Amino acid sequence: MVDMADFHVDIGPQYEGEVVRKEDMHVEFGGPKAKAKFELVTLKSMDEVEHEKVEIIGPDIKDMAEGSTSSIALLVDIAGEELEKDMEPVIERRFHMYMNNIEGIYHMNQRNDIWIRLNKESFKKGLNSLKEVGDMLIFLYTSELMAIEKISITFVTDEAKVQELLADAMKIYAARDERLKGLKEEDVEEFYGCVLCQSFAPTHVCVVTPERIANCGAINWFDGRAAYKLDPEGPIFGVEKGECVDEVRGEYTGVNQNSMERSLGEFDQVYLHSAFEHPHTSCGCFQSICFYIPEVDAFGIVHRDFSGPTVIGESFTRMAGTTSGGRQVEGSLGMALEYLRSPKFIQGDGGMYRIVWMPKEVKERYQECIPADLFDKIATEDDVTNADELTAFLEKVGHPWVKGEVELP
């Protein structure tokens, strides 16, 4: 059993946010100067984990020169009846908090970007072994997370060995990201709102969901969650999702309520995934516009970097003038380009199958989110220059929307 009295330094939340400057540093692990570094939590079965074991592979703190930088791998194995695979990243994220709770230790970042510093004072007090750091982490993990029944920690400081292990860790991180990218509005209780642009567009309220990134493309759902936690009084805030009123168009009671309050009563109804009737408001910062083309009853996409005229003869700048200002403009939706990747992209209007034109650059960049059977049927500036040519093009290639094959949900 680990006891706090055995430790050479103190542990507590008062040490969080404490920065170790280079002048005060004894040694550092990871960071920009280290070749390889990462931390990883792995769930194992009960008989695979030797409880409270701390192993060090490579040199320990006391073997290192003052002021030196070392590679590091921090491997934590856990076991417990109630633990699930999905909890690994959450438990791994606790490293950051726990490490920073140790007097004289500073921890930044996560995964393969970690950066840990130990200050001279704590080293002098006797914190000269990773064994003790491991004991402290085990103490913190087991006293705060009861579901962890068994835990062991391995520190690897041998550079070649860290590099070898890192390759496998990268595969695990990539797999986790894939799962996260699949997060849906149905999976969460809270969305986030942003009113940073209200200085330009006083009634604009951006709504950020796992399937809708902010218009500027800079804030996704995870960013919203982090920003709100860090600065709860700031311009980015939580939005209670409420009841889902219209699953297809993306209407939620909580979002409606929020928009009414934040737009000073201007709008009380918002469809998150439709450009018609009650579209999301547009600030002035959007990366692109999804615009209605009446001749073919479909949509085109144009982004800020496209300087020429679009298929309807107007440039991005000209259209931006009529789209922006924090209003709901039917058939003209300011949006982030990344919204094209959302499975709910204007799903109320037919989604990607309702798109008939976009600049070549956008089409190439977002190729993977355009269905293969549709890709060649979306026109670009190379194919057509006006609505008449567009109509002829769509008929020639047999665009599914023009052929009437797309059913609105």
Residues at the interface with other proteins (CB under 8 A):
17-19, 21-23, 31-32, 89, 108-111, 113, 115, 173, 176-177, 180-181, 183, 194, 196-197, 214, 216-220, 222-223, 225-227, 230-231, 234-236, 284-287, 304, 337-338, 341
Query: C-alpha distances in angstroms, 187 versus 112, 174, 211?
Result: 27, 21, 11
Question: Residue 214, Cα to own-chain centre: how many angstroms?
Answer: 12
Helices and strands: H and E segment counts in the chain: 10, 17
Q: Cα(144)–Cα(138) distance, rounded to whole angstroms? A: 10
Measured from the CB atom, the residue of 284 and 350 that comes closer to other proteins is: 284
CB-CB contact of 326 with 198 (8 Å):
yes
325 vs 350 by CB, closer to other proteins:
325
User: Which residue has 């796992």 as its token pair?
Assistant: 210
Tell which residue, 393, 372, 345, has the closest CA to residue 402: 393
Rounded to the nearest whole angstrom, what is the least distance from the CB of residue 219 to other proteins in the complex?
5
CB of 114 to other proteins, least distance (A): 9
- Minimum Å gap between C-beta 188 and other proteins is 13
How far is residue 225's CA from residue 246's CA, in Å, rounded to a whole number?
24
C-beta of 371: minimal distance to other proteins in Å? 18
DSSP secondary structure letters along 217-243: SS--HHHHHHHHHH-TTSSEEEEE---
Least distance from C-beta 307 to other proteins, angstroms? 11
Beta carbon of residue 194, minimum distance to other proteins (angstroms, whole number): 7
Q: Which is nearer to other proteins, 68 or 257 (CB)?
A: 68
- Identify which of residues 17 and 404 has a Cβ nearer to other proteins in the complex: 17
Shortest distance, position 348 Cβ to other proteins, whole Å: 25
Calpha distance 47→5 (Å, rounded): 30
Closer residue to other proteins, CB minimum distance, 197 or 296: 197
Q: In what side-by-side order are the strands of the sheet with 37-43?
A: 37-43, 72-79, 150-156, 54-57
Q: How far is the CB of 301 from other proteins (least distance, A)?
A: 15
Q: How far apart are CA 396 and CA 377, in angstroms?
A: 9
- Give the closest residue to 372 by CA, choosing from 394, 392, 400, 402: 400
The backbone torsions φ and ψ at residue 83, rounded to the nearest 5 degrees and listed phi first, read -75, 145
Instruction: Give the whole-angstrom CA distance, residue 166 versus residue 109.
Output: 16
Closest to other proteins by CB, 54 or 283: 283
Quote the strand ranges of 195-297, DSSP E. 206-208, 236-240, 244-246, 251-252, 288-293
CB nearer to other proteins: give 21 or 171: 21
At its nearest, how many Å lie between other proteins and the CB of residue 196?
4
| Interior/surface letters 372-382, b for 16+ CB within 10 angstroms, e for the rest | eebeebbbebe
Decide whether 142 or 263 has the Cβ nearer to other proteins: 263
Q: Which residues pair with 157 in a beta bridge?
A: none
Name the minimum Å distance from CB 293 to other proteins: 25
Structure tokens at 389: 């040519």
The residue among 31 and 242 lying less far from other proteins, judged by its C-beta, is 31
Closest to other proteins by CB, 138 or 166: 166
